Amino acid sequence: MRYRIEKQGDEVVISFEEVGGEAREVIAAIDRCRHGAPACAAGECARIGELGTQGEGVAMAVRLKPRADTELDVASLGECLKYHLPKLMGTACR
């Protein structure tokens, strides 16, 4: 699975490719992080206010809106993904 993170206005969009049957797991992992699961070093997931998704199967986009009076940082969200999705992303936890 590959992904790309980009800022669009005050939102951040994470576009996943080659998701396969893991779309629900990806969404669940980001949602757990957002709701206070043990946080990665960056702690950026705690700033996520709303989470929306588009697409399924091979490609999927996750649209993240920040909580009130905060901003989302693309680099920090990338670090959180590496921490929370190691099995799905084929990477090790840092």
The pLDDT value given to residue 88: 58
Helix (H) or strand (E) segment spanning residue 28: helix 23-34
pLDDT tens, residue by residue, 5-63 = 999 999 999 998 887 778 888 888 888 778 776 656 667 888 899 999 988 667 899 99
pLDDT at 92: 34
CATH hierarchy code of domain 2-89: 3.30.1360
Give the pLDDT confidence score for residue 94 in this predicted structure: 31
Rounded (5°) CA angle 25-72-50: 50
Alpha carbon distance 39, 86 (integer Å): 14
Give the pLDDT score at 91. Answer: 42
The pLDDT, as a whole number, for residue 90 is 52
